[in-house]
């Protein structure tokens, strides 16, 4: 398993960010798979911890997309789970997004530290997911549906941008083309569109006092099938205990999960 973060030296930032990051100690995140460089800035007694996300090219476009979605989603949710950006700098081929750290532990950290809290963690995550999925789709300007994502996935395959070495264990050794063919076998897809997070994983959800107080990595927020979020959360919980997956679906109100839709969304996620 990759290290979750590694201490590092400060990195160069645009002049507009220099004052905001001065005096911090730095650590490089080793968990995220977005392609962006993510650093945690910590150690100042007079200022809160920060996170800096930086990328170039297509990754810079995703960072800009995350900033826009962060502002929109923060205005929609009735819980303070999406703090506004501290600063955002965009140049023709690069972008930097600086955000305030939310005090809490990721859901992964809680489950890893205290497995006995699994049921309470699942219930908290589902409560938050239901709030997210209850946002009216008519209020959301972002399309994250599977047709749009299939278009993007095909472009990534053709460009050789898919990291085949990072596929889940059950698809170890597969090519991106084989994943694409498996996706096609599940089409046409029945969908139930809601406002989705897009990567509703344990590392992207922060808990404190038994409730979700933060969600991060918002570049994929948009209207999509609800199983986009359910499939990813179920996969993450299953890595700890399959009983947590069953509890998740019960708490969400689904008696019989649609395994075909779950498989489709996990296959599609491999290509990003």
Tokens of 34: 């977005």
The token duo for 94 is 């690069």
Residue 29 annotated as part of some ligand binding site: no
Residue with tokens 């300007």: 141
SS3 state at 255: coil
Collapsing DSSP states into helix, strand and coil, what is residue 143?
strand
Residue with tokens 């995350």: 66
If DSSP codes are grouped into helix, strand and coil, which group holds residue 245? helix
Would you say 269 is a known binding-site residue? Answer: no
Would residue 258 show up in a list of annotated catalytic residues for this protein? no
Exactly one of 123, 143, 169, 199 is catalytic; which is it?
199
Would you name the residues annotated as active-site residues?
199
């Amino acid at each position: 398993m990759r290290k979750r973060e590694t201490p590092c030296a400060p990195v160069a930032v645009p002049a507009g960010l220099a004052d905001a990051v001065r005096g911090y100690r730095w650590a490089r995140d080793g968990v995220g798979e977005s392609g962006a460089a993510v650093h945690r800035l910590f150690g100042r007694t007079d200022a809160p911890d920060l996170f800096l996300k930086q990328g170039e090219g297509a990754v810079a476009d995703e960072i800009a997309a995350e900033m826009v979605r962060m502002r929109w989603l923060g205005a929609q949710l009735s819980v303070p789970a999406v703090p506004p950006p501290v600063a955002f700098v965009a140049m023709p081929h690069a972008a930097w997004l600086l955000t305030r750290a939310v005090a809490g532990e990721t859901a992964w950290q809680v489950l890893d530290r205290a497995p006995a809290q699994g049921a309470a963690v699942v219930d908290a995550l589902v409560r938050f997911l239901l709030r997210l999925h209850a946002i009216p789709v008519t209020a959301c300007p972002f399309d994250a549906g599977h047709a749009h994502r299939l278009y993007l996935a095909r472009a990534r395959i053709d460009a050789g941008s898919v990291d085949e070495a990072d596929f889940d264990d059950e698809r170890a050794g597969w090519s991106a083309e084989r994943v694409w063919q498996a996706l096609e076998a599940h089409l046409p897809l029945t969908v139930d569109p809601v406002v989705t997070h897009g990567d509703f994983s344990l590392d992207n959800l922060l808990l404190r006092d038994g409730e979700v107080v933060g969600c991060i990595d918002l570049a994929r927020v948009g209207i999509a099938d609800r199983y986009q979020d359910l499939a990813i959360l179920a996969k993450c919980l299953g890595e700890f205990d399959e009983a947590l997956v069953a509890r998740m679906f019960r708490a969400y109100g689904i008696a019989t999960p649609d395994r075909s839709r779950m498989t489709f969304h996990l296959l599609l996620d491999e290509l990003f």
